[in-house]
Structure 1
Amino acid sequence: MLLRSSVLRATSRVATTRSLLLRTSPLGVTTPWISKHAGIRYNSSDATSNITDIQTQLPSIDDLTTSTIDQTSHAIGELSQHVGYLQSIGLAQTWHWPADIIQHTLEYMHVYTGLPWWGTICATTILIRLLMFPLYVKSSDTMARNTHVKPELDKLNKELMASSDMSKSQSIALQRKKLMAKNGIKNRWLAAPMIQLPLAIGFFNALRHMANHPVDGFTNQGIAWFHDLTQADPYLGLQLITAAVLISFTRLGGETGAQQFSGPMKKFFTILPLVSIPATMNLSAAVVLYFAINGSFSVLQTVVLRNKWVRKKLAIADVAKPPVGLPKEPEKGIWQSLKDNMANAKDQAEKRRIMKEKEEKMHAIVKEQRENARIKIVRKTKFHK
């Protein structure tokens, strides 16, 4: 019994000594207890500070995930802050295609102004419309001058359409040209608003491709209820704004402020924007934002060009009111107007064909006369000499 108890006491002493020698460090690494206390004994002043500086607890997984997400969110949009980024991802490859030109312009605006993408789209749209404003001023002036000579022009145009004689048609065309020159009308300015069509197509394609890629920053640089420019507007707010402004500037007289739409045409331009809402509901918010800003600028431009003080300062002619007392022609529907225009175009093409045939016959007669004029009459007596 004495031997067994002494063996047990010796075993317990060995186990206690071993546990003291192999204590674990705060970071989970086993460190000899003796070496640790030796460091404290011979360098006690530094050991206290070192022990307090040792991190006793690792960060949790939630903290690491949150910090990583924050760093990633701050990094979104950094790539697009450099000129040439769009070209590096396959966009803005040329300088002659409308969509590529718009993408280059958007990139320069985004980089050099520091605006977010929604502000870049708005600023670029407004800048281009401001550059086009002088063309709309010329177009508004031309339309207004046309209203002063509209009865005479309509009369000459009807005579020209009804004429099948080439000389008479040329005479009528010359009268019309003199009338327009006398009143300072240059019809080339009427085509100025048509420049808006390729620009609109360019914006549509450029923004659609940028949203589909998507461009860095498009997913979080929206505003208000459309924070993600790559997704469709969930509340159709942009579509409703676009439809409202399109109806407004049509009622006000078009983008030039001088257009006079008939009743059926006003109904058509009222229904068309409403139909466009379901047609554009799946487009990205970036594309519809352009439509909304462009339409809003059109309404503002119409209001400005209708202002008498502005028209006086810009030397724009006033729109003449229709003469009182003259019988008004009955208004035609849209489909009837299209049918009449097609019929008139067909009649005009037939008349031009007839006139061309007459002209070719006249040229043949003149050519024959010239050839006959070169023939000399030689008497028979001259052959015997």
Structure 2
Amino acid sequence: MAFAGLSSSIRLNSLRLAGNRLAPQTACYSRLPNVRAFSSVLRHSTRRKGAIQVVVLGVRSYTKPTSQSQAVASSTSVGDTTTPESASSAVGADQVAALVEVPPPDSSSAADILPDFVDTAISHLPPALQYGDLAALGLASWTPAGLIRWSLEIINVATGLPWFWTIVAGSIFWKAILVPLSVQGLRNSARLLPLQPKIKEFQDEMAKLRVSGDKLALQRHALKMRKTYNDAGVNMGMSALIPIVQIPITLGMFFGVKAMCALPVVQMTYSGLSILPDLTVPDPYMVLPILLCAAVNAQISIGAAELNLTERPEMGHIMNGLRLLSGVGIFVMNSFPSGLLVALVTTSFATTLQSLAFQYPPIRKALDIPSVPAHLRGKLPSIKSSFMYVIERWQAKVAEAKAQAKQPRRR
């Protein structure tokens, strides 16, 4: 009843498409096979009564041009007497006809050049991404990677940013979402650092109780350890939740952007940055892999201050191993598409700046993060010390294996 007053020319299909565009699209609702929901432009220019008539048809194009769109394009040929009203009436439900009247040029030569100039300028650029296009390509879904791709589509369509800055903005957006979890993790680690000797005693005692099999004493010891955590203000449940949230977002950003670069999202071939024009191909100058290596090393060096390397010195050697792997990984990461490396570099530098900010005393006080005493601050060992540590551990394992081999076997 609400649509009784509408004109009969409005089709139900148009209303359905308009409703779908208002809803969050993480799936393609089109019934047509092989749909490619990119907006394309049919251009044609004619002369009429001293003015240049430019008819622009914004369509939802498919893999094969329809005969209807070809008929509309032919109806606006030079010398044709078809009126704009008849041309727009021939357009289907998914096509919108727009008639633009350009003022007459100053000279006849300019009038002859303008149509060719407009056609050439537009034909060399892909159409702008429209909301729902990634769903039509199967790239938007309710998985972490699909949601991240959906957020990049929203940022690009809403702001009109080039794709280079769209990826940068999306990476910062998802990094900002993880900031509350990072703050809670720093609170727990800073409050646990002074308790490390006592925690070590609890863990050793609990290991002995497990061997003895005394379940009642084991439960008492667990309650005592939990009370120690509560008195220190440590939320162990939040500590367990942090990796559950961080890992899907990190992997989703990696695989989400990688799939967009691998699949034919043609808009990403024009990044908007002259020195890095195509985001779907590797960086030809290897600048992005080197920047990523530098960002990872800076992140590890700055973040080591929050680690308890006094009680767990092996963590420092593991961090040094990661630093070496990041240098070797330059040649591996050089095969990644540039768009993926832009996301990784942005995330790494954002994490480094976040670590620097959280070590600033006024910020720590405002966020209720306890200050770490100077003697408890972690400092990475030298690379030489890490090599000696690995050699000593290897020699100890070999000696232990030989000692076990010499022992007589029990029958």
TM-score, structure 1 length as denominator? 0.64
- Cα distance in 1 for partners of 2:244, 2:298 equals 20
SS in 1 for 2:266: coil
Q: Which has the higher contact order (CA 8 A, sep 6+)?
A: 1
Question: Which residue type is aligned with residue 177 of structure 1?
Answer: R
Choose which of 283, 307, 321 in structure 2 pairs with 1:268: 321
User: After superposition, what is the alpha-carbon deviation per residue over 1:249-268, rounded to whole angstroms, capped at 9, x for unaligned?
Assistant: 111125xx622454312311
SS in 1 for 2:350: helix
Question: Which of 170-179 and 304-313 deviates more?
Answer: 170-179
User: After superposition, what is the alpha-carbon deviation per residue over 1:133-177, rounded to whole angstroms, capped at 9, x for unaligned?
Assistant: 111111001000000111100111111122223233222222211
Correspondence for 2:221 = 172
Larger CA Rg, structure 1 vs 2? 1
RMSD, aligned α-carbons: 3.1
2:344 equivalent to 1:296: no
- Cα distance in 2 for partners of 1:73, 1:197 equals 40
Maintained 8 Å contact 1:147/1:320 = no
User: After superposition, what is the alpha-carbon deviation per residue over 1:334-369, rounded to whole angstroms, capped at 9, x for unaligned?
Assistant: 9959x99xx9xxxxxxxxxxxxxxxxxxxxxxxxxx
2:283 equivalent to 1:237: no
Question: Which residue type is aligned with residue 279 of structure 1?
Answer: V
Question: Which residue type is aligned with residue 73 of structure 1?
Answer: H
SS in 2 for 1:226: coil
Give the number of aligned pairs.
272
2:167 equivalent to 1:147: no
- Cα distance in 2 for partners of 1:200, 1:213 equals 20
Greater fraction strand = 2
Structure 2: give runs of 5+ residues left out of the alignment.
Answer: 1-107, 378-384, 401-411
Correspondence for 1:73 = 124
Greater fraction helix = 1
Question: Which residue type is aligned with residue 84 of structure 1?
Answer: G
Call closer, same or farther: CA 1:238–1:98 in 2, change over 3 Å.
same
- The aligned runs of 1:7-156 (5 Å cut-off) are 68-74=119-125, 76-78=126-128, 80=129, 82-92=130-140, 94-95=141-142, 97-156=143-202
Correspondence for 1:159 = 205
Maintained 8 Å contact 2:308/2:376 = no
Structure 1: give runs of 5+ residues left out of the alignment.
Answer: 1-54, 325-329, 344-385
Shift in Å, 1:274: 1.1
Maintained 8 Å contact 1:98/1:199 = yes
Shift in Å, 1:323: 7.2
- Cα distance in 2 for partners of 1:260, 1:243 equals 24
Maintained 8 Å contact 1:110/1:117 = yes
Residue identity (%): 24
Choose which of 284, 304, 314 in structure 1 pairs with 2:337: 284
Maintained 8 Å contact 1:83/1:108 = yes
Correspondence for 1:221 = 271
- Cα distance in 2 for partners of 1:306, 1:193 equals 22
Shift in Å, 1:276: 1.9
Shift in Å, 1:194: 5.1
Call closer, same or farther: CA 1:194–1:321 in 2, change over 3 Å.
farther
Maintained 8 Å contact 1:231/1:284 = yes
TM-score, structure 2 length as denominator? 0.60
Question: Which residue type is aligned with residue 161 of structure 2?
Answer: L
- Cα distance in 1 for partners of 2:259, 2:326 equals 24
Maintained 8 Å contact 2:193/2:308 = no
- Cα distance in 2 for partners of 1:64, 1:333 equals 71
2:344 equivalent to 1:316: no
